[in-house]
Amino acid sequence: MALQNSIIWLYFSSPKNFYPLAGKLIPFFAILAAVLTVIGLYIGFFVAPTDYQQGESYRIIFIHVPAAWMSMFIYIVMAMYAFIGLVWNIKMSEMMASALAPTGAMFSFLALWTGALWGKPTWGAYWVWDARLTTTLIMLFLYIGFMSLESAIDDARRASKASALVAVVGVVNVPIIYFSVKWWNTLHQGASVSPTMAPKMASTMLNAMLIMVFAFWMYAIAVVLMRARNIILEREKQTTWVQELVTNKK
Amino acid sequence: MTEPSLLTACRSMLGRDLVLAMRRRADVLTTLIFFLIVVSLFPLGVGPEIDTLREIAPGVIWVAALLASMLSLGRLFSDDYQDGTLEQILLLPHPLAVIVLNKVVAHWLVSGLPLVIFSPLLGMQLGLNAESIGILMVTLVLGTPVLSLIGSVGAALTVGLRGGGVLVSLLVLPLYIPVLIFGAGAVESAAAGLGVEAHLSLLGAFLAMAIVLAPWATATALRISLD
């Protein structure tokens, strides 16, 4: 059984076989993402009660928190793909890492942006040097570094390998950076604001947030698969199957 | 033909890089002078009040050290890449990581050590007391090798690329943050009369970790770049 499973995985690690699979999966994940977003936002904006401390402004967490989680999570997934690509030399894995980076960067940016919008009414400032904020900012820099290195190298294979190494080095450093910034922040104690949330969240709030996490998850999968398909077409353009595919479509 | 032992290879690599650096003293001096100029600019921008300067001194000196060490990274592999030496190094029958470590040590001796030696001067300029200056030097001794080690990964990845210099800063500066935090933090604690052991231990831990992991990553990066 285990052997069979591994053969299936290896089968789909070939771009030629992955391309149609991704094509079949995209509508499924895209529809799921749309439905979950509608449900999540409806519960978040209309059903969930108003927070007694923060008023209505807290409702941005239904986008902010899932985005922040996704930015971290996508980086880890990206580093895993990068690692697999580096060690076992699997082309598809490298392409997936490249496909994940822009989505991850987008989520970090979204987390920072919504965080700033939430911070102004709650903390009185758009930006506070809080550990989580700072780490998310550094995360965004790491994503940008990954993408710029990849685009700076002309040879696609070499570009993926080099940026894969950056992702792996980055993932080792993220926890170190996080704890460094956290200790730095507690040492300074400059800003008098504390990012403590209300101790207990109403269960409807939590539900809405979890639904939004799944919605973002589905969105990320759908978009990454779309991007991966494009990358496959671009990098495998000299192969016969891509040329047949393209000519048949015309 | 007998192969040279690993020790011989390391020794000659270190010696060669140091001799090359001594032949081009101007390059070494540029890094140092950059460091001195950047720090000297801050009083002009912030104002000459010695209390303010004393407060920002650790951060200013550390950020300047970060930038100076980053600027010097371009030389780490690029000359060897251009004249083909790097390919020969990759063909050596010895572990590349060990050879790379020697190159990084040589690089630190000519770009990091001068910063350590001249830092007391800047500390005095910015009104730090003797004890803080001592701590500053210790943090730089522990921290600048980490910068060289982490930087070597970025330098190896961007070797031979157009606009590699700017790219290196994008890749490497975010990873320098922990060193900056604890390097400057130790000096601040010393100035405030608090204990600095925790900061120094963490810097030491970073150094130990970087010595083990960074040469390996740099070696991998070099193999990718010269593929």
pLDDT tens, per residue, chain A with 250 residues: 556 666 776 777 788 888 888 888 889 999 999 999 898 888 888 877 776 666 777 788 888 888 988 998 999 999 999 999 888 888 888 899 999 999 999 999 999 998 888 888 877 778 877 777 888 888 899 999 999 998 888 888 888 889 999 999 988 888 888 888 777 776 654 444 444 554 456 677 788 888 989 999 999 999 999 999 999 888 888 888 888 887 876 5
Minimum distance, in Å, between the CA of residue B170 and any CA atom of chain A: 6
Facing A138 at nearest CB: one of B162, B171, B177? B177
Tokens of A241: 């199957």
Which chain B residues are Cβ-neighbours of A180 within 8 angstroms? Answer: 177-178, 181-182
The counts of H helices and E strands in chain A are: 8, 0
Q: Do B224 and A145 touch (CB under 8 A)?
A: no
What band does B210 get if pLDDT is binned at 50, 70 and 90?
very high
* Structural tokens at position B122: 């800047």
Q: Which residues of A touch B213 (CB under 8 A)?
A: 172
For A116, residues 6+ apart whose C-beta sits below 8 A from its C-beta are A126, A127
Residue A155: inside a domain, yes or no? yes
Please give, one letter per residue, the 3-state secondary structure of chain B.
Answer: CCCCCHHHHHHHHHHHHHHHHHHCHHHHHHHHHHHHHHHHHHHHHHCCCHHHHHHHHHHHHHHHHHHHHHHCCHHHHHHHHHCCHHHHHHCCCCCHHHHHHHHHHHHHHHHCHHHHHHHHHHHHHCCCCHHHHHHHHHHHHHHHHHHHHHHHHHHHHCCCCCCHHHHHHHHHHHHHHHHHHHHHHHHHHHHCCCCCHHHHHHHHHHHHHHHHHHHHHHHHHHHHHCC
Q: Taking phi first (over 0 means left), then psi (-120 to 50 degrees means alpha), and beta for anything else, what does residue A198 get?
A: beta
Both tokens of B186, joined, read 């130790």
Query: CB–CB of B178 and A149 under 8 A?
Result: no
pLDDT one-digit tens code per residue, B73-92: 888 888 888 888 888 888 88
**Cβ <8 Å between B227 and A180:** no
Which of A143, A144, A186, A187 is most worth mutating to test chain B (most B CB atoms within 10 A of its CB)?
Answer: A187
CA A83 to chain centre: 17
**CATH for A169:** 1.20.120
Into how many domains does chain B fold? 1
Would you call B174 and A142 a contact, using CB atoms and an 8 Å cutoff?
A: yes
Give contacts of A157 with chain B, Cβ < 8 Å.
227
Is B1 within a domain?
no
Q: Report yes or no on B101 lying in a domain.
A: yes
The answer to whether residue A239 is domain-embedded is no
DSSP A236: T
Torsion of CA A17, A20, A26, A29, to 10 degrees: -50
Tell me, letter by letter, the H, E, C secondary structure of A39-106: HHHHHHHHHCCCECCCEHHHHHHHHHHHHHHHHHHHHHHHHHHHHHHHHHCCHHHHHHHHHHHHHHHH
C-beta of residue A159 within 8 angstroms of C-beta of residue A149: yes
User: How many whole angstroms separate alpha carbon B114 and alpha carbon B99?
Assistant: 23
Contact B126, B43 (CB under 8 A): yes
Task: Tell me which residue range forms the domain holding A181.
Answer: 26-232
Chain A positions touching B175 (Cβ under 8 A) are 169-170, 173, 177
List the structure tokens of A162.
Answer: 């080099």
Cα dihedral sign for B218, B172, A160, A169?
positive
- What are all long-range contacts of B175-178, with beta carbons under 8 Å and residues at least 24 apart? B175/A169, B175/A170, B175/A173, B175/A177, B175/B150, B176/B66, B176/B70, B176/B147, B176/B150, B177/A138, B177/A177, B177/A180, B177/A181, B178/A173, B178/A176, B178/A177, B178/A180, B178/B202, B178/B206
Cross-chain Cβ contact A162/B157 below 8 Å: yes
Q: What is the C-alpha separation between B100 and B219, in angstroms, rounded?
A: 7
Q: Which residue from B minimizes the CA distance to A136?
A: B174
Contacts with A177 from chain B: Cβ below 8 Å: 174-175, 177-178
- Nearest CB to B227; choose among A158, A172, A176: A158
How far apart are the C-alpha atoms of B105 and B76, rounded to whole Å? 11
Mean pLDDT, rounded, for B30-59: 89
Percent of chain A residues topping a pLDDT of 90: 25
Judge: B224–A176 Cβ closer than 8 Å, yes or no.
no
End-to-end CA distance of chain B: 27
Our CA dihedral for A13, A14, A16, A18, rounded to 10 degrees, sits at 0
Residues in chain A closer than 8 A to B185 (CB atoms) = 184, 187
In a domain, A183, yes or no: yes
Which residues are registered as beta bridge partners of B209?
none
According to the model, what pLDDT value does residue A125 have?
79
In this structure, which long-range contacts are made by residues B46-53, counting pairs with CB atoms below 8 Å and at least 24 apart in sequence?
A: B50/B127, B51/B127, B53/B126, B53/B127
Please tell me the predicted confidence (pLDDT) of residue A105: 94
A176/B157 CB distance under 8 A: no
Rounded distance between C-alpha atoms, residue B174 and residue A67, angstroms: 21
| ipTM of model | 0.85
Neighboring chain A residues of B147 at a CB cutoff of 8 Å: none
Which letter, b or e, does each residue of B176-197 get, where b requires 16 or more Cβ atoms within 10 Å of its Cβ?
A: bbbbbbbbbbbbbbbbeeeebe
Crossing angle of helices B96-111/B6-23, nearest 10°?
A: 30
Query: pLDDT tens for residues B97-147?
Result: 999 999 999 999 998 999 999 999 999 988 888 888 999 999 999 999 999
Residue B96 lies in a domain: yes
Q: How many CB atoms lie within 10 A of CB A33?
A: 20
Count of the separate structural domains present in chain A: 1
| Distance in angstroms (rounded) separating the CA atoms of residues A36 and A28 | 12
Size of interface A-B (CB pairs under 8 A): 70
Domain span including residue B119: 6-225
d(CA A118, CA A135): 17
- Tell me which residues of chain A have a C-beta less than 8 Å from any C-beta of chain B: 86, 138, 141-142, 144-145, 148-149, 152-153, 157-158, 161-162, 165-166, 168-170, 172-173, 176-177, 180-181, 183-184, 187
